[in-house]
Amino acid sequence: MGRSSKAYIAGAFEHPTRKAVDKTIAQLHAEVALGALQDAGLTKDDVDGYFCDGDVPGLGGLSMAEYMGLNLKYIDSTETGGSSYVLHVGHAVDAIAAGKCSVALITLAGRPKAEGVVSLAARDGDGGKLPERGFEIPYAPVITNMYGMAAMRHMYEYGTTSEQLAWIKVAASHHAQHNERAVLRDVVTVEDVVNSPMISDPLHRLDCCVISDGGGALIIVSPEVAKTLGDRCVKVLGSGTSIGHLNGGKFDLTYTGAAVSGPIAFEEAGLKPADIDYASIYDSFTITVLETIEDLGFCAKGDGGKFVSDGNLISGVGKLPFNTDGGGLCNNHPSNRGGMTKVVEAVRQLRGEAHPAVQVPDCTLALAHGTGGQISARHGSATVILGRNDA
């Protein structure tokens, strides 16, 4: 009954680890795959489609398919950074709708905490082949100062304040206190955030996400398979993708690719922002959330600061409960890629399986958004709109 859906999310799993000193990356992929399959009530042999990012060990998904013993009819290793897994949900739905596969596995795994590799500069391995390298790397761009420039411009154009950005961390911390696996479980105040050490103006330490190991996995299935699995399956109602970039030196740092991917997803779902009961918003930094909320249409461009203030993102308090697992800001940002956990928590909400203290009552429609790369340069943007089984 209800809205039509070309495919369903049948399994969702977040690896419990936050520091994986005793596991390989391949092992973590297999562990999250098994977790999601068990959650769905399926086995490895049911999988006929595999989706992963370009950061997995090996050439695309080839080595991981062999490691996990997958027999595949469909494979997709589209790489758009931390947004990849949200994008993969849309791609999996399309592949299933086209009859190319019927049970799709999406995995993410990594161990930056254990390996101590966290900086953007560590990825500078492309040498002369990367076309923009000579015009960027000598200036020492790193993730924090790149996001700092987006925040600084937003403040200049719209009067956004550090206190307003801080509310985003405050909301995440209110949720994380209930998540026993969250890296940061202490509830923080606006004062705590703005008084934490300045990392790269105007972003403070507590404006940043955590660094953690682990990963997650999703199982996307056809409507026919979903019928056999029961009402924990979640509908995928719409998906959208975009790439933001510097456009030959003519760009606006107060917008992200969500301004394109969001409307595509809403149109396919036949919904509008006001219909959404719960939102998972990519939160590498507080500014990422603020700009994305504006771009998705939850408020007008420039009004994000007012919108996120005074607890408006806190479940049970505000109008748009977000990232009720604590998000990347407090809970988990596995492999420096937060898109997977965004979808996982949205699925928990729609199943009524979020922590009771943060569960949105009668949660029927949810959104998950991923951002990959850097919003102040090249970035992937992916939005999915999900519905409870009876939505």
Partner 1 sequence: MSNPERTYVDPSINMETEAYWEGTAQGKLLLKRCCSCGETHFYPRAICPHCLSSDTEWFEASGKGKIYSYSIMRRAKIPYVMAYVTLDEGITMMTNIVESDFDDVAVDKAVEVTFRKTESDHSLPVFRLS
Residues that bind partner 1 (CB under 8 A): 127-128, 130-142, 144-146, 148-153, 156, 197-203, 246-251, 253, 376
- Say how far apart CA 88 and CA 54 lie, in whole Å: 12
Nearest alpha carbon to residue 284 among 341, 349, 239: 341
**Residue 79 CB, nearest approach to partner 1 (Å):** 21
Question: Is 291:164 a contact under the CB 8 Å cutoff?
Answer: no
Tell me the sheet residues that pair with 384. 239, 368
Pick between residue 105 and residue 152 the one whose CB is nearest to partner 1: 152
**Residue 147 CB, nearest approach to partner 1 (Å):** 8
**Residue 200 CB, nearest approach to partner 1 (Å):** 5
Pick between residue 165 and residue 176 the one whose CB is nearest to partner 1: 165
Q: Is the peptide bond before 202 cis (omega within 30 degrees of 0)?
A: yes
Q: Are strands 103-110 and 49-51 parallel, antiparallel or unpaired?
A: parallel
The pair of structure tokens assigned to 356 is 């009771």
For residue 52, the number of C-alpha atoms closer than 13 Å in the C-beta half-sphere is 25
Nearest alpha carbon to residue 53 among 88, 8, 18: 88
Cα pseudo-dihedral 35, 360, 271, 84, rounded to 10: -30
**Residue 211 CB, nearest approach to partner 1 (Å):** 14
Pick between residue 98 and residue 118 the one whose CB is nearest to partner 1: 118
**Residue 114 CB, nearest approach to partner 1 (Å):** 22
Pick between residue 114 and residue 246 the one whose CB is nearest to partner 1: 246
Q: Are strands 198-200 and 234-244 parallel, antiparallel or unpaired?
A: unpaired
Pick between residue 103 and residue 253 the one whose CB is nearest to partner 1: 253
- Say how far apart CA 17 and CA 314 lie, in whole Å: 25
Residue at 389: amino acid letter = N
Pick between residue 151 and residue 293 the one whose CB is nearest to partner 1: 151
**Residue 81 CB, nearest approach to partner 1 (Å):** 19
**Residue 95 CB, nearest approach to partner 1 (Å):** 31
**Residue 121 CB, nearest approach to partner 1 (Å):** 9
Pick between residue 252 and residue 267 the one whose CB is nearest to partner 1: 252
Pick between residue 7 and residue 155 the one whose CB is nearest to partner 1: 155
Pick between residue 47 and residue 120 the one whose CB is nearest to partner 1: 120
SS3 192: helix
**Residue 132 CB, nearest approach to partner 1 (Å):** 6
Tell me the sheet residues that pair with 108. 216
The separation between CA 343 and the C-alpha centre of its own chain, rounded to angstroms, equals 7
Residue at 307: amino acid letter = F
Nearest alpha carbon to residue 286 among 382, 377, 196, 378: 196
**Residue 243 CB, nearest approach to partner 1 (Å):** 13
Cα separations (Å) of 17 from 26, 124, 375? 15, 28, 28
Pick between residue 156 and residue 357 the one whose CB is nearest to partner 1: 156
- Say how far apart CA 18 and CA 214 lie, in whole Å: 6
Q: Are strands 203-204 and 198-200 parallel, antiparallel or unpaired?
A: antiparallel
